[in-house]
Amino acid sequence: MAKLDDYRFYVQQVLERYGQLKPAYGDLERQLLFDPTRDHYQLVTVGWQQQQRVYGCVVHVDIKDGQIWIQHDTTETGVANDLVALGVPKADIVLAFHAPYKRPHTGFGVGKEQLGQHAA
């Protein structure tokens, strides 16, 4: 559990840092949604740019089965790399936006429990 508490702290820390990067244009708000009960963590952009509605997820990370699942990531650096820099082993990070059959080739974790469902 201590490991998972560390992971929760790291994930929130990384998302808070991206949340502080304000878009240079438009009337845009960055919102953090942290749900530690369900272990879902998200950063969203909401607002307006030249009368156009802007709504989009920047990063979405889950913690499940002892691993950190990157469900969605639009950052340049890659949240996975930020987490590795904080000391999280690559095997404990799943790039969930890659299909399960590709994950063994990412150098990151595989997320075993879903492998059967998607294997070709």
Binding site for a second copy (CB under 8 A): 27, 31-35, 37-38, 40, 42, 44, 46, 48, 51, 53, 55, 57, 60, 62, 71-72, 96-97, 99, 117-118
Q: How near is the Cβ of 57 to a second copy at its closest, in Å?
A: 7
Cα–Cα distance, 104 to 12 (Å, whole number): 26
Q: How far apart, in whole angstroms, are the C-alpha atoms of residue 4 and residue 12?
A: 12
Is the Cβ of residue 59 or residue 88 nearer to a second copy in the bound state?
59
CB of 52 to a second copy, least distance (A): 9
Q: Which is nearer to a second copy, 34 or 92 (CB)?
A: 34
Q: Please report how close the Cβ of residue 21 comes to a second copy at its closest, in angstroms.
A: 18
- Cα gap 70→97, rounded to integer Å: 7
Question: CB 9 → a second copy: shortest distance, Å?
Answer: 16
If DSSP states are collapsed to H, E and C, what string results for 12-66? HHHHHHHHCCCCCCCEEEEEEEEECCCCEEEEEEEEEECCEEEEEEEEEEEEECC
- Residue closer to a second copy (CB basis): 42 or 67: 42
